[in-house]
Amino acid sequence: MKVPQSLENVDQDAVIRTFEYGDGSIIAVDFGSSAADTSVDIVGSTAIIVADGEQFEFELPPEASDVSARNGVLTIEE
C-alpha cells in the first residue's frame, strides 16, 4: 500500500513508516507526544485527521480496510 501524497507532506514532525506483511500492509504515522489526542473521522473515501490542533485530510488508498488513531499514531491497515 502506498503512502498518500498528502500524508507525505504533513507540516508536523511526523514519522511515517510502512510495514509490509505476507497478507497485507500497515502505514503508521507517528505525530509525536504533543499530538496524543489525535482523532480520525472517515467520510466516504476521505480521512479527516486532527492532530496537535491542526486538521488535514487525505484520500484513503483503495485497499485500506481499517483506519484508527491512538496515542498520537495514525494507522492505515490493508
Beta strands at 39-43 and 66-70: parallel, antiparallel or unpaired: unpaired
pLDDT at 11: 62
CATH classification number, 5-77, choose in 2.60.40, 3.30.160, 1.10.3470, 1.10.357? 2.60.40
pLDDT at 17: 93
Tens-place pLDDT, residues 9-66: 776 678 899 999 999 999 998 887 767 788 899 999 999 988 878 888 889 988 999 9
User: Taking the CA atoms of the chain, what radius of gyration do you get in angstroms?
Assistant: 12
User: Residue 8: enclosing H or E segment and its boundaries?
Assistant: helix 5-8
Cα-based torsion angle of the residue sequence 1, 55, 74, 24 in order, rounded to the nearest 10 degrees: -20
Q: What is the pTM of this model?
A: 0.83
pLDDT at 4: 82
Question: Domain-by-domain residue ranges, the chain?
Answer: 5-77
